[in-house]
Each structure stands twice: as C-alpha cells, then as structure tokens.
Amino acid sequence: MTESFIGIDVSKATLDVAIFPSDEEVSVPNNEAGCRDLVVMFKSIQPKLIVLEATGGLQNLVAAMLIAAELPVVIINPRQLRDFAKATGQLAKTDRIDAKMIARFGEAIKPEPRPFKDDSNQALTALITRRRQIIDMITAEKNRLGSSHVSVKKDIKETIAWLEKRLAEIDKELSSTISQNEIWKGKVELLTTCKGIGPVVSTTLVCSLPELGTLNRHKISALVGVCPFNRDSGTMRGKRAIFGGRATVRAMLYMATLSAIKSNSAIKDFYDRLTKAGKLHKVAMVACMRKLLTVLNTMLKNMVPWDPNFMQHT
C-alpha cells in the first residue's frame, strides 16, 4: 500500500490541502466545521504524515483537532519550505501550489512529529512572551530616562514603576499556572535543582521546549540551535557556527548559562577549562550552553535531580 503524505497551506480563511502521491486536492474553511471535515477525510486515508507551516497561530485549530484525532502531524518552520521550494526550482506561489510543495516536503524529508502545545501550554507561552516584552519595555524606558528632558522624566519613571508592577504580577501568574499542573510543577522543580536555572528559565524550557527529555543530546541541541554546523566546501574550511533553532529558548539558556558560570561550580570549571585551552568567550559560552542543555535533558529523561557527575557523562 502506497504511503500518503498530506500538505496543508493555512490562511486565515481557508485550509488548502494536497495529498501526495495521489495529487488529490481539497479546500475547506479554516474553522471547526472545516477542520472536522478534514479529520474525517484523513482518518479514511490514514496518511503517513500531515505537514503544516507555522503561520503565526493560524494553524493552531486544525493542528489541535488533527492531533486530538491521533493523526501524525508536524508543524514546520516556513524557512524550511522556502529552501526546499528553491532547491526543487519551484518559484511560482499560490495556496494550491504551496499545499503541494508542503506535501512533497513531507514525503522527501519526513520530519519527525513533535509534541503539540495544548491550550494550557499555549497560555503559559503567552505569559512568558509577555514577560519578555515587558522587560524589553522597561529597558527601553530606562534608556530614555537618562537622556530625556526634565519635563518628561516624571512620566517615564511612572511608566517604569507600572511596568515593574506588571512584571511582578506576571511572575505570580506564571507561578500559579505552573502550580496547577502537577506534571509541569514536577519538571520545573526538578530543573531548578540545577544552580543557574531559576523558575522563569525552567518554565520557559517546560513550555517552549516540550521535547526536552524525549530526544537525544544531538537532536535537542540542534532543535534549540546550539549545535555547531560545519561550513566546509571543497578546499574551503570555515568556522563552525550555530544556526536556526528556537530563539526564545536559546536566549533564556544563554542567561541561565551566565548565571551558572557564577553559581554552579561544575559549569564554571567546564568554562574555565575551555578558556584556558584558548577558546574565545563566545565559543566557550555556546559550548557551556550545549552542555547545560544536555544535562537538563538527561535530568528530565531520567526524572532525577541535578548531579555534577552528569557533566562527565553527557
């Protein structure tokens, strides 16, 4: 029996579907009724994989309903599809063409389905994102304060005070949301046994990196974007560099690593060994981020608290 791969091009109003290799096409509204029709259709087909692009949240309804129906769904980065389309020489772009290209991508690349975020997880992600936005606004207002005219300094200070109050409230909301979910609570408590990993970082990891503890160290490092890739071609030998990945998680991991270098003797010793061996600060930092991530991955995979010995075996 031929395996089927389904591509869905998602827009605000419609879902354009292409099935490979049968070339069957269908278009339904992007609402609950349309998604239910797709669930029934796909159940009868039993596809090997259903692929969607991440489109700013427009894909959430159909992805959630398909996953709830226990269908194999993967959500890909739009950049991956653009690169694939260029590689195949496909320059034209319509919703129907995009759906076909997504289906062909699924058949050729066969990306591995990842855990999808349910409503609670998405709410937690929204809180974390909002927290980061507020911190950025506080930083911007503080920068303005130093060079602003005396006539507006009072207003800027009041804005900073309000933002800091809202930041404290969001931290309470994060704590409350975590405490209501026993699985999250257990994971967060486990991760925070590692010095350098605080409540916000652990919450971000649990929410924005649900794969943590389920993948091997190479895959989890590549997923976050702390796995250096070679840049060699012919006689050219370039420096290895990290690329792609989840920027929010990587930013949090960077801050956690800075903290761990100061407070966690095992991470500090690892960093010192690298710098003494001649590694640049940036290179040593990325190596420490990757090491810390693989240790945290091991902790969740085995559901065990921090142990400095993990540094020697990951």
139-197 pLDDT, tens digit per residue, is 999 999 988 999 999 999 999 999 999 999 998 888 888 777 777 888 999 999 999 99
276: pLDDT strictly greater than 60: yes
Residue 191 lies in a domain: no
For the purposes of burial, counting CB atoms within 10 Å of the CB of 169, is it exposed (0-12), middle (13-18) or buried (19 or more)? exposed
Pair 172, 243 in one domain: no
Q: Are 13 and 29 in contact (CB under 8 A)?
A: yes
Same domain, 145 and 99: no
Give the per-residue pLDDT at 115: 65
Identify whether 185 is part of a domain. no
C-alpha to C-alpha distances, 262 to 10, 108, 195, 268, 272, nearest whole angstrom: 46, 46, 9, 7, 11
What is the extent of the structural domain holding 240?
199-313
Point out the least confidently predicted range of 27-36, 103-112, 159-168, 175-184.
175-184
pLDDT at residue 229 in the model: 52
Query: If we measure between CA atoms, which residue out of 171, 45, 66 comes closest to residue 113?
Result: 66
Query: Does residue 190 form part of some domain?
Result: no
Which is nearest to 114 in space by CA: 165, 76, 70, 163?
76
Number of domains comprising the chain: 3
Band the pLDDT of 76: cuts 50, 70, 90: confident
**Residue 92 to residue 14: CA distance in whole angstroms:** 20
| Mean pLDDT for the stretch of residues 242-258 | 83
| Same domain, residue pair 46 and 133 | no
Rg (CA), the chain: 23
What pTM was estimated for this model as a whole? Answer: 0.65
Question: So what's the pLDDT on residue 92?
Answer: 61
Band (262; pLDDT cuts 50, 70, 90): very high
Residue 115 DSSP class: P
Strand order in the sheet with 5-10: 24-29, 14-20, 5-10, 49-53, 73-76
Two tokens, residue 301? 């995979």
In a domain, 167, yes or no: yes
The DSSP letter of residue 69 is: T
- Pairing of β 232-233 and β 236-237: antiparallel
Written as six digits, the tokens of 84 are: 């694939």
Mean pLDDT over 274-296 rounds to 93
